[in-house]
Structure 1
Amino acid sequence: MDREILFHLRQDGRLTNVELAKRVGLTPPPCLRRVKRLEEAGVISGYRADIDPRALGRGLEVLIDVEIYARDRQAVAEFEETVAAYDEVVEFRRMYGRPDYVIRVAVADHGAYEAFLTDRLSGLPAVLRLQSHLTMKTIKAGG
């Protein structure tokens, strides 16, 4: 039953409890108890709105593979903290193997991306190598 609830909430996080209960075959009170329990357990970590990046002036999405020089914890932590704070960075992952990191950035256009890459990312002392991958088309996104 919990999996069914999660399935429907992933499809539409704005479902009312009454509608959710109807879809999963419960009455509203036990459905609400299950949702609250899933929230308290951290299974449901939040609710959000999916916003078209073009509406925010960020129609260009680029994935960047990053290899770094740094191997000591302090330098790695500083690199991660700096990159995570950049507004253009919408996703930032440390990887096993190569590359060390994958960063997803969303910017207005190619000029904005060039400025981000030149003025911010490539100038960081930890950066060894960068490789950009421009998105042609997003086929599936999100969870």
Structure 2
Amino acid sequence: MSPENSSGRPSKGRPSNDVRHVRLDDIDHILIDELRRDARIPNNALAAAAGIAPSTALSRVRSLVERGVIRGFHAEIDPEALGQGIQAMISVRLQADARKRISEFGSQIAALEEVLNIYFIAGADDFLVQIATVDTAALRDFVVDNLSAHPAVAATETILIFEHVRPRNSPSR
């Protein structure tokens, strides 16, 4: 049911969905809100929350996935439980002449084991990369070996993450 592969990244064989023109009704918003709160909610409970039949809920969720509104279902793992107690956000600015290869650079960095998330951003920097490592030496090695040494990179700035607080029950509207 998920468009993601086992790594949590989008599967290469699936077309990218343009969600700019997708219309969502009130039922879609209820389903999305419930799944955002708990992606493991049983289908019958999801249907009850939306006031629809379980078969309708299942087909609507499938449609939301197919249309690209729901990108996937995944488990959020605490990196510290895996021995990666240091997390950081690293802003990356590319060389001016490397900007034509932004997509290529993003794919290369996203493929690295330490990378949790990568964002292509507006502003002075081009990317914001969230990583998790074993310790500060591994963090330094990641920055030096994978970013500073990369010919496309002009500058980096590393910000340590002390704690990640996730909002609870955030609505989709």
Residues 43 and 53 (structure 1), Cα distance of their counterparts in 2 relative to 1, 3 Å cut: same
Q: Taking structure 2 as the reference length, what is the TM-score of the superposition?
A: 0.73
Distance in 2 separating the partners of 1:76 and 1:37: 31
SS at match of 2:33: helix
- 1:77 shift after superposition: 4.6
SS at match of 1:118: helix
Written as runs of structure 1 = structure 2, the 5 A alignment for 1:74-89 is 75-89=101-115
Written as runs of structure 1 = structure 2, the 5 A alignment for 1:34-113 is 34-72=60-98, 75-113=101-139
Matched with 2:7 is none
* Greater shift in the superposed pair: 133-142 or 107-116: 133-142
Answer yes or no: is the 8 Å Cα contact 2:44–2:54 preserved in 1: yes
- 1:132 shift after superposition: 0.7
Q: Taking structure 1 as the reference length, what is the TM-score of the superposition?
A: 0.86
Root-mean-square deviation over aligned CA pairs: 2.2
Identity %: 35
Distance in 2 separating the partners of 1:10 and 1:18: 16
Larger Rg: 1
Matched with 1:119 is 145
- 1:94 shift after superposition: 2.0
- 1:27 shift after superposition: 2.4
Distance in 1 separating the partners of 2:62 and 2:155: 45
Residues 61 and 13 (structure 1), Cα distance of their counterparts in 2 relative to 1, 3 Å cut: same
Q: Which runs of 5+ in 2 are unaligned?
A: 1-26
